Amino acid sequence: MANTWSIRGRALKLNTAADVEEHSKDLRANDNIEEIHLEGNTIGVEAAAALASMLETKKKLRIANLADIFTGRLLAEIPQALTSLLQALLKCPELHTINLNDNAFGLNTVEPLRPFLSQHTPLQHLHLNNNGLGPAAGALVAESLAQLADNKAKAKSEGNKNVPDLETVVCGRNRLETGSMSAWVKAYTANNKVQTVKMVQNGIRQEGIATLLQHGLSKCKQLRILDLQDNTFTSLAAKTLCNTISKWPVLIDLGVGDCLLSARGGLQLGEALSHGTNKQIEVLRLQFNEIDSKGVKAICDAALHDTALPRLRRVELNGNKFSEEDPNVEKLQELLSARKEDAEQKYPGIDVDDDDAWGVDELDELDDEDEDD
């Protein structure tokens, strides 16, 4: 850890340059710093400028964790402090990961983000979770990422062969809503090598989800993790998902829990998965979706199919509308348990003792359709 500098979780209130100096001697002295962690402190304008003067000299910096660093700050302070930090990080040529989670940016303070997100061509992994963006600021972020793709392409055309593709976009709990989806379509069309997309709990309704899937994410052939949980699909967007899922041949983890897929949507998803175009899928997150016994059977049939889902190891089905004694649940559990026995050879890196990584989840909130009848 010699090349990591961290003040994570210390609840420091850094107001002045002197406050920063007290804690940053190791940072100032080490030109080989690769990671910094500022998370869980509160940083004012003068302190941010002092930190920035050090950060811009760290040419080997690769990871910057700036999550939750403005708690209790005035609205007027955040743009100035953020501008100082991000302008410094723009000068770090190896910085590929930035975490800005849990900072209340909103429309009033999103402006400093845009130059960094559009210009920092080394960026591979972006974490923007719980920032209070709303649809207008969310669209500005998406537009910046589309510009980033243009700037990456330009840098490559000028002979910079080390420019990476954008691989990770985490932008959840941000009230992106349907209104920003056309901008996000352009962002994903431009950055179509993205591998991880997590946009949970954004208040996106079915029309927005359908647009995002059909016109944006369908272009991302290398998608490995897609998490859209706690948005609204209904049968409209569920159908779009089923028509799009074949576009993602290396998809490993699909999260569409708490999305109102509907009974029809659950059935259609099972049928789509049975076509064998998603052989890499390991995890299906399908909780609280009104999936009934027919949908469970379709998902089970796809899993039992010899070539459709040969790597499936985890299915989350709690909160749907079928009986816990449904025979297809038992079949599914037996299949997934058998795969767990071969875990070390077939699933390197997956903890065999992690119950949340294997089998069917605990079905303690089912709404049995027979009882309703």
Q: What percent of the chain has pLDDT over 70?
A: 98
The residues, ordered by sequence, that sit 6+ positions from 9 with a Cβ below 8 Å of its Cβ are 39, 40
HEC string for 43-107 = ECHHHHHHHHHHHCCCCCCCEEECCCCCCCCCCCHHHHHHHHHHHHHCCCCCCCEEECCCCCCHH
What the block records as the tokens of 86 is 């991000």
Beta bridge partners of 63: 35, 97
> For the chain, what is the largest distance between any 2 Cα atoms, rounded to a whole number of angstroms?
71
Which tens digit of pLDDT belongs to each residue from 34-83? 999 999 999 999 999 999 999 999 999 999 999 999 999 999 999 999 99
Question: Higher confidence at residue 132 or residue 344?
Answer: 132
Report the distance separating Cα 267 and Cα 283, nearest Å. 17
Report the distance separating Cα 290 and Cα 35, nearest Å. 44
Question: Higher confidence at residue 344 or residue 240?
Answer: 240
What the block records as the tokens of 348 is 């390197």
Which tens digit of pLDDT belongs to each residue from 118-150? 999 999 999 999 999 999 999 999 999 999 999
pTM: predicted TM-score of the whole model, two decimal places: 0.96
Question: Which has the closest alpha carbon to 182: 149, 219, 210, 150?
Answer: 210
Check if the beta carbon of residue 63 is closer than 8 Å to that of residue 57.
no
Which tens digit of pLDDT belongs to each residue from 181-197? 999 999 999 999 999 99
Report the distance separating Cα 225 and Cα 197, nearest Å. 6
Q: How confident is the model at residue 369 (pLDDT cuts 50, 70, 90)?
A: low
Burial 177-200 (b: 16+ CB within 10 A, else e): bbbbbebbbbbbbbbbebbbbbbb
Whether the pLDDT of residue 373 is over 60: the answer is: no
